A = this chain, B = another copy of it.
């Protein structure tokens, strides 16, 4: 007698993905309750740090594991199968990590990365992008930062944060401890999904920043390598969406097998014998597979290009931008579709708060709004029509 297969098992050869799958089981235990609670996922972050995955990306030279981007992105996907917030926090910390790797001096790296590994820092990006709501002035030998930043995901549980402001000569970026005096968390995140990402406001009141904490200087060229940041973002989100789809489908499947009853007029004994149920699950699974295949391709392309560092050409970066945009759009569409449609074949009794299956839809719906598919499709179309790659910029 065949048994329901394990769906979306981690690559056997990928130790990080496998570790993430194990941690996912832990996160799963109270995922629904934490979604309801919102706020800070303190225990979950503790478990993440204990898993050794938190610092896995940092290079072996600094005591990390030098995990590939492919692995990191799979970890994001694993987490998203039950907890989109942890997936987001984990994935997004690699944006400041990348920026630091790309822009920090050897001395800074020697200072920060080993400490990050040792103390298991969770990084977060609190630098403004779309709104310019914070400013810094020079006071003696320091900078003093004031203002606030919205949508500052992860700052509420981070150990170190990246901040930025516009000043003489351009844009300043710095890395500081999250508990620096004057850094405050508004705890005002109120999203319908991604409830524990803390994507609310971080407040800066007279935050002192030393020159040694600056990443590069304002005039520094933003190389194609540095600008990979916005592609990392898209690739992380793509995995959040795919993981959510996989979670929704796998949890839905389990529910269906275990609990769903045949429809009153179905004429079948078991709900799973209904051609409708089979077709729907099959159809959703196919879409998940296609999205994953595309995302894995883009991750592999990133891994191939990344070692080129600042030597990365604009053309190569542009080519990856095309792949990342495609992966992101497909992933978002699949995430929404699966999270919505799987209910249909689970049935009316599945749609309860206690079950919490709706968190997948709320998570994907929330996060797909931050980088509209419309514009990524246009970007892709522009390239297809005239060969131009998107100008590196936030979200593209």
Interface assignment of A366: CB less than 8 Å from any CB of chain B: yes
In the complex, which of the residues B266, B357, B386 contacts A3, with contact meaning CB atoms closer than 8 Å? B386
In the complex, which of the residues B4, B265, B378 contacts A278, with contact meaning CB atoms closer than 8 Å? B378
A195 CB, nearest partner CB in chain B, Å = 9
By the criterion CB–CB under 8 Å, are A5 and B265 in contact? Answer: no
Among listed A55-63, A90-98, A99-107, A279-287, interface-contacting one: A279-287
Please measure, in the bound complex, the distance between the C-alpha atom of A385 and the C-alpha atom of B348, giving whole angstroms. 19
By the criterion CB–CB under 8 Å, are B279 and A381 in contact? Answer: yes
Among listed A134-142, A167-175, A208-216, A387-395, interface-contacting one: A387-395
In the complex, which of the residues B4, B278, B330 contacts A377, with contact meaning CB atoms closer than 8 Å? B278
By the criterion CB–CB under 8 Å, are B3 and A381 in contact? Answer: no
Residue of B nearest to A315 (CB): B2
Interface assignment of A9: CB less than 8 Å from any CB of chain B: no
Residue of B nearest to A318 (CB): B2
By the criterion CB–CB under 8 Å, are B387 and A2 in contact? Answer: yes
By the criterion CB–CB under 8 Å, are B190 and A372 in contact? Answer: no
Contacts of A291 in B (CB 8 A): 290
Among listed A13-21, A71-79, A120-128, A339-347, interface-contacting one: A339-347
Contacts of A5 in B (CB 8 A): 383-384, 387
Of listed A266, A279, A357, A375, residue having the most chain B CB within 10 A: A279
**Oligomer: number of copies:** 4
Interface assignment of A148: CB less than 8 Å from any CB of chain B: no
Please measure, in the bound complex, the distance between the C-alpha atom of A238 and the C-alpha atom of B5, giving whole angstroms. 25
Considering only residues 346-390 of chain A, those with a C-beta below 8 Å from chain B are 346-348, 350-354, 357-358, 361-362, 365-366, 368-370, 372-389
By the criterion CB–CB under 8 Å, are B151 and A192 in contact? Answer: no
Of listed A287, A366, A374, A375, residue having the most chain B CB within 10 A: A374
By the criterion CB–CB under 8 Å, are B286 and A297 in contact? Answer: no
**Which residues on A are within 8 Å of B, measured CB to CB?**
2-5, 7, 130, 151, 190-193, 253, 256-257, 263-266, 272, 275-283, 285-287, 289-291, 293-294, 296-297, 325-326, 329-330, 336, 340, 343-344, 346-348, 350-354, 357-358, 361-362, 365-366, 368-370, 372-389, 393-396
